[in-house]
Amino acid sequence: MTLLEGSVGVEDLVLLEPLEQESLIRNLQLRYEKKEIYTYIGNVLVSVNPYQQLPIYDLEFVAKYRDYTFYELKPHIYALANMAYQSLRDQDRDQCILITGESGAGKTEASKLVMSYVAAVCGKGEQVNSVKEQLLQSNPVLEAFGNAKTIRNDNSSRFGKYMDIEFDFKGSPLGGVITNYLLEKSRVVKQLEGERNFHIFYQLLAGADAQLLKALKLERDTGGYAYLNPDTSSVDGMDDDANFKVLQSAMTVIGFSEEEIRQVLEVAALVLKLGNVELVNEFQANGVPASGIRDGRGVQEIGELVGLNSGELERALCSRTMETAKEKVVTALNVVQAQYARDALAKNIYSRLFNWLVNRINESIKVSTGEKRKVMGVLDIYGFEILEDNSFEQFVINYCNEKLQQVFIEMTLKEEQEEYKREGIPWVKVEYFDNGIICNLIEHNQRGILAMLDEECLRPGVVSDSTFLAKLNQLFSKHSHYESKVTQNAQRQYDHSMGLSCFRICHYAGKVTYNVNSFIDKNNDLLFRDLSQAMWKARHPLLRSLFPEGDPKQASLKRPPTAGAQFKSSVTTLMKNLYSKNPNYIRCIKPNEQQQRGHFSFELVNVQAQYLGLLENVRVRRAGYAYRQAYGSFLERYRLLSRSTWPCWNGGDQEGVEKVLGELSMSSEELAFGKTKIFIRSPKTLFYLEEQRRLRLQQLATLIQKTYRGWRCRIHYQLMRKSQIVISSWFRGNMQKKRYGKMKASALLIQAYVRGWKARKNYRKYFRSGAALILSNFIYKSMVQKFLLGLKNNLPSPSILDKKWPSAPYKYFNTANHELQRLFHQWKCKKFRDQLSPKQVEVLREKLCASELFKGKKSSYPQSVPIPFHGDYIGLQRNSKLQKLKGGEEGPILMAETVMKVNRGNGKTSSRILLLTKGHVIITDTKNPQAKTVIPLNSLARVSVTSFKDGLFSLHLSEISSVGSKGDLLLVSEHVIELLTKIYRATLDATQIQLPVAVTAEFSVKFKEGSLTVKVIQGPGGGGTGKLSCKKKGSRCLEVTVQ
């Protein structure tokens, strides 16, 4: 019989027939071979490790299981995680998920799957996503520093981890707290054959770049380190290089700074390098054995790495200071003792580093708000271990597993049966093994093994592992779950496997033989004070913080608690925590010892199923009830299903529950009414109740929505009606106002017409015919007066450049307005001229003359307008020779400039000085001022100039002049506008005749042999620079190109 059609075997072992141990194992094997690794026992999940990745954990499966209840789909770890999460979110019940099983059974992977599912289905948001990411990223960090390859498991947790994930009232994660238990720190210095040290060492050596390794003073080869097993430096399917990058990324996400990550790696490198410190025999002067360091280079590198004096470290490793209240005694250590001290230091450094990492992660993920929180705990702790040589670590690990088995027994088998008895439910007792006697054997406060171990560690006198074993043999000689060589001899039993230094405990999972060698030392877990003080003196912040007892100010002679006592206290706290929450169980099973996929060992699984009590669990579940709840809580949840109890019930809780279930017509075989609780046998009945509640909630939600929508519509209608009344009143009032306005306007119009009619009638009666002319003249004058007064008040500014003028208000004022504008402008100009000095007037006249001559004709004219005319461009006042050229009677020189004379024969130019006086134009050589040409102004016939931006011009002379016989002059001036303007004005003043100025691109120049045509053209550059290029074209043409 199965829950789903087409399923493999029986999905819930409660339905298994026949119910026997063999059929139970065969069912697990059948499902395992079909890759169905999950099976139910009621609400307990049995998981068989597949040793391979299965395609059943993607987002599609997450979405599928979040929408269905526990039994509606195939068994899956997501179903159990979903049930726990929904119970926490909807019913405010704190949850814990207990994952148990042997080492290699898949507990660590199961815990990661639970956390990933909860992270996927809880709330969204930037802060929520950040918290989820930090919780998930704590796994790679703790796995790197706390997991290792063992014979049974390539990724075995060598510490116990319990994580409390805290949620708000909406089910969104707020943070968490991680508690770690008993790191197997002995693995730091020694591993069994085929095993590895902790993952971090191999990840660091494989994944760190060359620069980081150099800074940490490490070599990449794992064979160069005494603490690493060289035979198993790598693991199939595990990429240490990639895992190191994942570790760095995870630490960054959690909130580790770059400096903190570097310090953590430096401390890990310190542990590796401590193993390479080789100790040798030495002798003191009195012959007492001592020890020393063979090669001081390793100690020196350690000192450089963590800022520690190498001499201090060497003294701490090779000697010990015994301190009492009165004196100090320094004792040299032999090689064995020094090696013990070195290994103890390495183990303590690593163990304290791991604790620091856990505390640092807790700081990042802790909840800062004080609001009420819901908690889900996930326990992933080392599994039961039976090795060839079992020591103190295996003893405390198996003790913890005994306690977890006790929790399972008390909360599932024992508690359930006792609850039926308390509630008065008819019940046939199911026999099961109660391991309380084994737990009592180990943890009893006065007569337990841990108490005897602490007593032996603390008592004075000669103490050894053999004296501890002797005490156990004496105390537990008749205990049914304790064996040793002494007790076997007393009972005349002979066992080859039992050594003289061993004892055996019959655990719930089988008999385990423990070797007592090093029990005393490992329980004491002592670190010499010299080593603590040496570490505290290091200038490395993290390493220094790990050894606060090394501070001389905090030194204490009080003995620290033993490792066993600390672990027992931690387990007690853990048990209290688990008992306070609703448990959810995942029982992990290892199918074979070789970690092979698809291989199922019947014998191995049978042993695990027996000590896990799977068969007893099935029997209890089949005989009992799947669900129970107090009457009050049940009624509070389901009272809405009955009209008698909803919405208000005033009777007793049990009576109310009976009313609810009675109206639902449920079978009496499915129900049992206890003294304080209601019991429901089948999960299907519970699912039926939940489905009815869901439908009822939909009905109530629909009713609430309907009521709310009705209320909202009524309110909306009332607001609309009120608004309509206001709008109507305003509209009617506005209409009446408009009507009144029209009536008033009509009345005024009628009145105006009547008054006009009366006025015309009276005018014809009383006034003469000339009254119209008088009135029109009066109106016209009034308009003129108003126009002139308005013009007076709105005159433009007195600036001659401001040509604004008010427009005439009437067309018949336009002529007068234009005349007034002209007069006002002339007045402004006269006022402006009156303010000018004679020199300024002369300058403006020159500029006016230049404007008349060249404006709109010469391209270079606009650039000359803002530039004042200077006249003297050669420093005439400082050159006495040039002043003598003008003669004594000419008066002042009007223009002095250097010009270029163009040779009419070849077009070449030569520099000349041109002087303009009131009567002459004087041209002289710049090198020989005496050689001059004097041209009277009355000899000038005309002037030709180009229209481009060049300075080329020609002075045409009259033929009757003495100078004219030589021919016209072709010159180039940089100030051609100013020069020609001054020549024009000087000629006008001297001859009273206007000198013709021709602006043309082609003109003729005469000389004594004939005439030459000058043709000016514009070059490809557009003539912007004004530079000239002269080229002779034949004998009668000179082509001038303006560049």
**Active-site amino acid positions:** 103-104, 108, 153, 156-157, 383, 385
Q: Return d(Cα 77, Cα 37) in angstroms, integer.
A: 10
Task: Name the burial class of residue 697, with classes exposed (0-12), middle (13-18) and buried (19+) by CB atoms within 10 angstroms of its CB.
Answer: exposed
How is residue 937 annotated by DSSP?
A: G
Under 8 Å between Cβ of 153 and 126: no
How is residue 171 annotated by DSSP?
A: S
Under 8 Å between Cβ of 890 and 989: no
What 3-state class would DSSP assign to 111? helix
Phi and psi, residue 888, nearest 5°: -85, -20
* Total residue length of the chain: 1043
CA 559 to chain centre: 48
Beta bridge partners of 515: 502
Under 8 Å between Cβ of 97 and 213: no
Q: To which H or E segment does residue 565 belong?
A: helix 563-579
Under 8 Å between Cβ of 407 and 575: yes
- The number of helices, as runs of H, and strands, as runs of E, in the chain is 33, 31
Sheet holding 482-484, edge to edge: 482-484, 502-507, 510-515
Q: Return d(Cα 503, Cα 500) in angstroms, integer.
A: 8
What 3-state class would DSSP assign to 911? strand
Q: To which H or E segment does residue 737 belong?
A: helix 683-766
Give the type of residue at 403.
Answer: K
Phi and psi, residue 47, nearest 5°: -120, 125
> Tokens 């002139």 sit at which residue?
788
Neighbours of 318 (CB within 10 A): 22
Least Cα distance to 624 among 679, 587, 690, 684 occurs for: 679
How is residue 410 annotated by DSSP?
A: I
Q: Return d(Cα 937, Cα 920) in angstroms, integer.
A: 5
Sheet holding 677-680, edge to edge: 627-630, 677-680, 671-673
Beta bridge partners of 502: 515
The tokens describing 597, both together, are 């996929």
Look at the alpha carbons of 1018, 1024, 1026, 1030 in this order and tell me if their dihedral is positive or negative: negative
What 3-state class would DSSP assign to 183? coil
Contacts 24+ apart (CB under 8 A), 758-762: none
Instruction: Give, to the nearest 10 degrees, the angle between helix 59-66 and helix 77-91.
Output: 50
Q: Return d(Cα 858, Cα 496) in angstroms, integer.
A: 131
Phi and psi, residue 409, nearest 5°: -65, -45
The tokens describing 1007, both together, are 């000389």
Give the type of residue at 55.
Answer: P
Torsion of CA 589, 593, 598, 604, to 10 degrees: -50
- SS3 string, 900-912, reads EEECCCCCCEEEE
How is residue 585 annotated by DSSP?
A: E
Q: Return d(Cα 1005, Cα 806) in angstroms, integer.
A: 55
Q: How many CA atoms, within 13 angstroms, populate the side-chain half-sphere of residue 332?
A: 15
Beta bridge partners of 495: none
Cβ neighbors of 692 (< 8 A, separation 6 or more) are 641, 664
